Structure 1
Amino acid sequence: MSYKTLLVHIDDSRRCDARVALALDLAQRWDAHLIGLYVVCEDFAKPLFGNDDGFVAQLAALSADRRETAQQAFLAAAERAGRTAEWRTPDGSPVDVTTLHARHADLLVLGQPDPHDPATYVDRHFVGEVVLGAGRPALVIPHAGAVPTLGENVLIAWDGSREASRAIADAMPLLQRARFVSVDVVGPTHDRESGPSAIDVAAWLEAHGVRASFSTTPRLGVAGTGATLLNRVSDLHADLLVMGAYGHSRARERVWGGVTRTMLESMTVPVLMAH
């Protein structure tokens, strides 16, 4: 099993170059076709100026310049890496078009929004909406910190759910190349039922050539599962977290699972999510 088509989200943010470099490295690992999908927020300034035709024209020209700059940077990076790559700039709702194009890829590479860089804003809950709607695994890269390695030391968050099982299956190409894989169950200190489940996951992985350790981590005090997992990532020096993504719609508003929300806001290493 391998990834044959990768899709990386391109924007005008400071972190985009690092995201593209990582996507090119992954494409090199699996000799995969890489698609650069340029999707940005086009409407953030329009409400400030209403229907001023002059401003709208200036905004369109500025957007075209930024798009051209991003395209040249992406294709140049691909050429330096010795990879062929495809550039796409679809029109339409950012979430809708990204979700549609994502469904034709084996793995998505997305960036965590950075509250200190407005260029990372595409749409409200953009990353989470794409992860939940695309039906494809997404590798989400933190907005801060270097990513010197990816997939050498992997932590799997296991809770017995459909989403977690899907995430493990979707991460298998990465897991099969990892040096260390740990399966961890986070739960209350009185929960004694999670251990055998983690053992079963380790046996499943071993059938695919992945040798994994397993453990249970108590959720102590007021710390949530997400915060506990982040502590485990730090303790194990993991460079990738694999987990299911959770969320549902209620009254036209997306309601996120607590762990999913924590990771989207506070991830410290790349996170492979699947729903």
Structure 2
Amino acid sequence: MIKSILVPVRGDGMVATVLAHAAELARQHQAQVNVVHCRAQAKDLMPTGIPLNDFARKVMMEQAVELANRQEDHLRGILHRLAREFGLSENGGDDGSVICTFTEKNGRMADVVKHAGRLSDLIVLPKPQRERNLGQSSLKAALYGAGRPVLICPGQLQPDETFTQHVAIGWNGSLPAARAVASSLDIIHAAQKVSILTGGKPQSQGPGVDELIDYYALRGITAEIVRFEGKDPATELLKTSKKIGASLLVIGAYSHSHETEMLFGGNTERIVDKTDMPILMAH
């Protein structure tokens, strides 16, 4: 049951897309959105590797605190404007607005995600930006540290009326895929169409796609099977999802370790890098 949606934010220009997707899901499931601003610590804004005397260090520390305060004030203003735009309210109401809380935490975003995420039903994060070295540690903290399902939102994508109406599930019988299926049941129940995408090499001891069909049928969900072929399952999964008109892809994340996939480029890493559609994943 989705009742608590965590949205950790910082000044990376991705606030609008994550808040918009969280607001849409909250409306669909009568959930609460909890926005946590990860405030930069002054010491993290200080230059490293440069020897400074006490006076210079004091001046630069004061400037760093002032910069952190300005960033916080600016982001708080953006958050409240976007909240109104997306129908979020700190008090909720009879006008259909969704309850939204705003809190500020000092520290690294990954640490905040790990702490606040453990009692959340879903964590909404922007697509990691490998070229800027942003987001990888937060995604890892959400999946491994908090152990919660994660909705990845790419670019400046804004959800429209088709969001979550047609859900595609990438299935290979793995444990992460099974956890993704269980974590997304509320969303699957509310979808108008469900497609199970299967191809590539299945898990040798994992349940087959027909067993997943039976699992859904027992819960009153009708799903179709869509098979794909190709040497690169990640690329084919995304291509097939777009071909059938899916608006959300559900996958299991990192069948191997996160470090192994980062180093050798596993399927999850390639999907996250290449996607231009929302992805719900669980480990």
**TM-score normalised to structure 2 length:** 0.82
User: Is 2:49 the counterpart of 1:38?
Assistant: no
- Cα contact 2:34–2:102 (8 A) shared by 1: yes
Per the alignment, residue 139 of structure 2 pairs with: 127
Judged with a 3 Å threshold, the aligned counterparts in structure 2 of structure 1 residues 58 and 102 are, in CA distance, closer, same or farther, namely same
d(CA) in 1 for partners of 2:275 and 2:141? 17
Whether the 8 Å CA contact 2:170–2:177 is kept in 1: the answer is: yes
- Runs (5+) with no aligned partner, structure 2: 88-96
Within a 5 Å distance, the mapping from 1:1-275 to structure 2 comes to 2-39=1-38, 43=44, 46-47=47-48, 52-80=57-85, 81=87, 82-114=97-129, 121=134, 124-148=136-160, 149-187=162-200, 197-220=208-231, 224-246=232-254, 247-248=256-257, 258-275=266-283
Partner amino acid for 1:71? R
1:110-133 deviations in whole A, cap 9, x for unaligned?
A: 1013467x5x836x5332342232
Q: Distance in 2 between matches of 1:115 and 1:248?
A: 18
**Which residue is 2:93 aligned to?**
none
Structure 1 unpaired stretches of 5+? none
User: Contact 1:156–1:241 (CA<8 Å) still a contact in 2?
Assistant: yes
Q: 1:211 to 1:45 in 2, by over 3 A?
A: farther
SS of 1:8's partner is strand
1:149-189 deviation per Cα after TM superposition (whole angstroms, max 9, x unaligned): 3211111001101110110111111111111111111215x
- Contact 1:187/1:216, CA 8 A, preserved across alignment: no
Cα gap change, 1:67 to 1:50, in 2 (>3 Å): farther
AA at the equivalent of 1:185 = T
Alpha carbons 1:132, 1:245 under 8 Å: kept: no
Cα pair 1:110 1:138 within 8 Å, conserved: yes
Change (3 A) 1:14 1:92: closer
Secondary structure at the residue paired with 1:38? strand
Q: Which of 235-244 and 92-101 deviates more?
A: 92-101
CA displacement at 1:6 relative to structure 2: 0.7
- What secondary structure does 1:70 align onto? helix
Q: Report the TM-score when normalising by structure 1.
A: 0.84
Aligned residues: 265
2:104 and 2:45 mapped to 1: Cα distance? 18
Name the CA distance, whole Å, in 2 between partners of 1:154 and 1:248: 26
Partners of 2:100 and 2:156 in 1: CA distance: 26
Amino acid at match of 1:112: K
* Partners of 1:209 and 1:200 in 2: CA distance: 14
Per-residue deviation, 1:68: 2.2
User: Which sits farther off after the overlay, 131-140 or 33-42?
Assistant: 33-42
Read off the aligned partner of 2:78 and give its amino acid letter. Answer: A
Deviation of 1:256 (Å): 7.3
Q: Distance in 2 between matches of 1:7 and 1:61?
A: 28
CA distance in 1, matches of 2:47, 2:63: 11
Separation of aligned partners in 2, 1:249 and 1:259 = 11
Instruction: Give % identity.
Output: 24
What SS class does the counterpart of residue 34 from structure 1 fall into?
strand
| Cα pair 1:181 1:212 within 8 Å, conserved | yes
